[in-house]
């Protein structure tokens, strides 16, 4: 997925993400992400639920591995 400044991470996309979480499995709602970006997106989505359920979520590393020197 693009970063907030519009860049793509450039890492190999290995995961299929639901753009809008839920049961819409149509191609229009799917995108290819690398594992890190997928985990970050899922964590942000889960964070909303975690605020309600107080379930602690594992957070991805703050720095994208493809961008590390
Ligand atoms: Zn990525």
Ion ligand 1: residues, CB within 5 A, are: 9, 11, 34, 36-37
Rounded to whole angstroms, what are the CA distances from 51 to 16, 18, 44, 56, 62? 25, 21, 11, 9, 20
Question: Whole-prediction pTM value?
Answer: 0.59
Closest CA to 11 of 3, 19, 22: 3
Helix H or strand E encompassing 54: none
Angle at 10 between CA 58 and CA 16, to 5 degrees: 55
Please report, in tens digits, the pLDDT of each residue of the chain (69 residues total): 455 544 568 899 999 999 998 899 999 999 999 999 999 898 888 765 555 555 555 676 778 888 877
What is the whole-number distance in angstroms between the Cα of residue 25 and the centre of ligand 1? 21
Q: DSSP label at 15?
A: E
């Amino acid at each position: 997925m693009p970063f907030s400044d519009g860049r793509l991470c450039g890492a190999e996309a290995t995961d299929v993400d639901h753009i809008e979480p839920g049961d819409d499995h149509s191609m229009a709602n799917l995108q290819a992400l690398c594992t890190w970006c997928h985990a970050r997106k899922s964590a942000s989505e889960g964070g909303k639920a975690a605020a309600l359920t107080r379930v602690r979520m594992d957070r991805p590393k703050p720095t994208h591995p493809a961008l590390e020197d």
